Every structure is written in C-alpha cells, then in structure tokens.
C-alpha cells in the first residue's frame, strides 16, 4: 500500500531535497498480538529498503499567470508558487556603499554586513537594529537586503514595513485567506521587517507573525527587524515575541558625532557633484545634531535656495536658512515625554497617571495626556491607551472628546491646555 500510493510523491520530494542519488529506507511498525487482541510484546521495526528505482525528476510545472489560478495568494498580488517572483521592495540608493560608518553605528553596520555575507548562518538571527528616527535603520535594512541579492541572486529577499504587513494581514482575514498569507511569508529566504514596534497592541498580527518567525528561524532563514526602541522597552508586545527578538543580536544606532555628520555631508556632496566652502559644511554639521535625515534635509534646502535665488552658497546664506529650518522642523514628542510634562504641570507622580485610580484630578490629567498624545504623536489609540494605565482605544477616544468639550466650556481648563501646548512646543 505505501509504495503503491505514495512512492511517486516521496521520490519527487527526495529528489528535490537530496538529489538524484538518494535512497529511501523506511520502517514498518508491527505489533505482536495474542489471541485476545491485546499486545503481548513490544512493537518491533523492520527496515525496508526502497525498491531499486531512482527518484524521478520533477516534471516541469507551468503556472498560469492569472492570479485566480495561483494556488497561494501572494499579498503583493504577484502570482507564483514554485519560485517566488516578487519585487524585494529594496531601494538601490540605500546600499552599504552609501552608508557612512562611525562610532554611532559601527556595531549595527558590522553585524548587518556579516548577515549579508552569510544569511541565516550567523548567530545574529534575528538581527534587530534599533534607534531614534532618522539615524539610518531603514537604510541599513535595505543595504543588507541589497548585499544579499547581489551575492545570492537565487534567494528570495523581501523588505516590508510592519504597517504594510498588518494591512495585508487584515485583507487576508477579510478574504478568508490567512493560511495563504502565512504560507507566502514562510517561503521567503530573507525577511526584513521595518518598524516592528508598529505591531504593539495588535494581538492577531503578533500571533501570525509569531508563527511565521518560528517557521523561518527553524528552517535557517534570515530575519532582520528594525525598531525605534530595544525589546526591553517595547510595550504592548507579547512576551513570547520579545523573547525571540532577543535570540540574535540587538544593535543600536546612536546620534552621529560631529565627524560622522561632516562625512555624511561630504558623501552627499560628492554623489551630487557639489562643492561647498568648508566653513559651510562645518556650520551645517554643528547646527543639525539630532539625526541624519534632518542633516540631509538641511543640505538639500540650502542647495535649493541657492539655485532658485541664484545666490552663491556662503556662510551667511547657510545661517539664514538654518535659522528657518530648525525653527520650522517639527519635532515629534513621545508619549512618555508628554506624560512627564503633564505630571510636572499638575505636580503629580507619574506612577499615579499610569495607575487605575479614578480620582478626579488624576483622571483629568490622564485624559489631557491622552489628548496631546493623539494630537502630537503618530501612535495608535491602542498604544496610547497602553502607555496610560493599560486603557483601550475606546477610553482614549472618550478622553479626547471630553478634553475637546471642556476646552470650549471651561476657561480655566482651556488655560491648562494652552500652557501645556507651549511647554510641549519648546521640546
């Protein structure tokens, strides 16, 4: 029965995985039973060598290009099963060659390069790169993917933001195709997920990602994650996922030093064929200290102003532009910072704001913190609620409505909001 029904399927699989010279041996477990039908002795195994036949070559399989004929629905809407023929979503400008190394990023870059040289074959699996906005997390993730594709064109490499992953999962749930969604991601050789902290508070998304992560890790595939914070600070993330994030290496990206900032500017100028006076480059590097993205933005703005106004780039022009640029650059505050400012203003301990207490003054401060968190950050309502004592998104919505109503009817309350908005704007 075994050979009659399954030998072709087994032969194809063995040929595919082990090569044409592989042989199959299998054991048949038989039980010795007495007259009563109960087992009288331990089962024994008989080794049965496969009949002397070679594993057959897989027949050519021609898949239809029509999406409805594809056995597994690809969430990127590109059909194909045997070999995932997908766009890796990698930006060719974000290569290792364009990434300036400094003390601020040396560990992350070195680990990234090691992973690119031997995907799935180092102890850096997963590799989690974390740091504040604009320090190069996304650039480094793309660089790893590009280098792997350059060295191993046959590997399926996929870069996807956690937000895109979540939206695809929601679509899969809606279309009753969650198994197809999971199977698709399990067939990838290298998975790069950007801003993994976006999964915070999304239990179902975390659950499906947990199973995809396990499958990829167990089959020796490479996983690269980026986040704005280390695992220990990720709130709203399941413990089983956080523990897996720590299996490999967590490498942080710090604010670049003055020398690194100058090297970044010089690299940009060289790439664009632009020359600037040394004093201008130094002034930009001294003035913009927060992150690389702002630094690049300042240089682009300066070149644009010079070109549009037909003015030479001088130190005076750089100073005028930087004054406006720094003033107009919106700095996103964090939920933690908002909570601190609110607690300082009302002279309340932070732990009370995050507690379950229903005292009127605490509830009001908590609602104001929720209101400013929704207004001044990109965090989801669920994430804001988590930071404010484990509340749900409905509680956050109610808090925002309450604050909006009170500021229209209570002048003292409106004064609180005006004072706090000024304090938060200084950040």
Residues 427, 333 contacting (CB under 8 angstroms):
yes
Segment 120-139, tens digit of pLDDT: 999 999 999 999 888 999 99
Q: How high is the mean pLDDT of the chain?
A: 82
Mean pLDDT confidence for 39-48: 40
Segment 362-398, tens digit of pLDDT: 999 999 999 999 988 878 888 898 888 888 889 999 9
**Whole-number Cα distances in Å, 299 to 294, 348, 413:** 9, 43, 43
User: What pLDDT is attached to residue 199?
Assistant: 94
pLDDT at 19 over 90: no
Q: Which residues of 61-95 are buried (b: 16+ CB within 10 A; e: fewer)?
A: eeeeeeeeebebbbbeeebeeeebebebbbbeebb
Q: Which residues does 80 contact at the CB level (< 8 Å), separation at least 6?
A: 63, 70, 74, 86
- Bridge partners, 157 (sequence order): 190
Residues 108, 224 contacting (CB under 8 angstroms):
no
**Whole-number Cα distances in Å, 326 to 206, 298, 318, 421:** 38, 9, 12, 19
User: What pLDDT is attached to residue 63?
Assistant: 36
Please write down the HEC assignment for all residues of 192-248.
EEECHHHHCCCHHHHHHHHHHHHHHHHCCCEEEEEECCCHHHCCCCCHHHHHHHCCC
Q: Which fold has domain 96-253?
A: Rossmann fold (3.40.50)
Among 26-30, 89-93, 188-192, 313-317, the range scoring the smallest mean pLDDT is 26-30
Extract the tokens encoding 374: 């929704």
Segment 224-276, tens digit of pLDDT: 999 999 998 898 899 999 999 999 999 999 888 888 999 999 998 988 888 88
Classify residue 39 by its DSSP letter. B
Class of domain 335-426: mainly alpha
Mean pLDDT confidence for 349-359: 90
Closest alpha carbon to 282 in 294, 265, 297 = 265
User: What pLDDT is attached to residue 55?
Assistant: 37
Q: Do domains 96-253 and 335-426 have the same CATH topology?
A: no
**Cα dihedral 74/76/80/85 (nearest 10):** -140
User: What pLDDT is attached to residue 347?
Assistant: 92
Please report, rounded to a whole number, the percentage of residues in the chain having pLDDT higher than 90: 48
How much is the CA Rg of the chain, to the nearest whole Å? 29
Q: What are the backbone dihedrals phi and psi of residue 302, each rounded to the nearest 5 degrees, phi first?
A: -65, -45
Mean pLDDT confidence for 74-91: 66
Q: What are the backbone dihedrals phi and psi of residue 234, each rounded to the nearest 5 degrees, phi first?
A: -80, 110
pLDDT at 285 over 60: yes
User: What pLDDT is attached to residue 306?
Assistant: 86
User: What pLDDT is attached to residue 382?
Assistant: 84
List the chain domain ranges: 2-49, 96-253, 258-328, 335-426
Q: Which fold has domain 258-328?
A: Helicase, Ruva Protein; domain 3 (1.10.8)
């Amino acid at each position: 029965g075994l050979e009659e029904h399954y030998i072709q399927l087994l032969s194809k699989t063995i040929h595919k995985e082990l090569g044409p010279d592989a042989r199959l041996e299998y054991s048949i477990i038989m039980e010795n039973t007495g007259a009563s039908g109960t087992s009288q002795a331990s089962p024994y195994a008989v080794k049965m060598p496969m009949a002397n036949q070679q594993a057959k070559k897989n027949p050519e399989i021609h898949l239809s290009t029509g999406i409805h004929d594809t056995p597994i629905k690809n969430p990127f809407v590109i059909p194909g099963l045997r070999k995932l023929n997908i766009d890796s979503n990698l930006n060719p400008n974000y290569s290792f060659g364009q990434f300036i190394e400094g003390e601020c990023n040396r560990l992350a870059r070195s680990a990234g390069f090691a992973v690119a040289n031997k995907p799935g074959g180092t102890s850096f699996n997963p590799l989690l790169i974390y740091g504040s906005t604009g320090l190069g997390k996304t650039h480094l993730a793309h660089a790893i993917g590009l280098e792997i594709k350059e060295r191993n064109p046959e590997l399926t490499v996929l870069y996807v933001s956690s937000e895109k992953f979540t939206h695809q999962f929601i679509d899969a749930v809606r279309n009753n195709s969650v198994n197809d969604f999971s199977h698709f991601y399990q067939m990838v050789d290298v998975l790069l997920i950007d801003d993994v902290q976006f999964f915070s508070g999304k239990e179902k998304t975390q659950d499906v990602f947990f199973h995809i992560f396990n499958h990829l890790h167990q089959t020796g595939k490479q996983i690269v994650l980026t986040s704005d914070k280390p695992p220990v600070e990720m709130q709203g993330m399941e413990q089983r996922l956080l523990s897996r994030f720590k299996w490999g290496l967590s490498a942080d990206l710090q604010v670049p030093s003055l020398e690194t900032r100058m090297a970044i500017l010089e690299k940009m100028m060289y790439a664009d064929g632009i020359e600037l006076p040394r004093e201008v480059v130094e002034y930009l590097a001294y003035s913009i200290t927060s992150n690389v993205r702002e630094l690049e933005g300042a240089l682009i703005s300066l070149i644009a102003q010079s070109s549009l106004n037909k003015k030479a780039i001088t130190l005076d022009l750089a100073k005028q532009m930087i004054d406006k640029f720094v003033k107009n650059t919106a700095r996103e505050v964090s939920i933690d910072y908002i909570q601190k400012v609110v607690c300082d203003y009302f002279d309340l301990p932070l732990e009370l704001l995050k507690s379950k207490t229903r005292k009127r003054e605490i509830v009001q401060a908590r609602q104001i913190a929720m209101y400013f968190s929704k207004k001044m950050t990109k965090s989801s309502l669920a994430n804001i609620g988590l930071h404010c004592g484990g509340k749900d998104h409905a509680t956050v919505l109610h808090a925002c409505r309450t604050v909006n109503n009170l500021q229209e009817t209570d002048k003292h309350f409106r004064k609180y909001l005006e004072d706090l908005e000024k304090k938060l704007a200084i950040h």
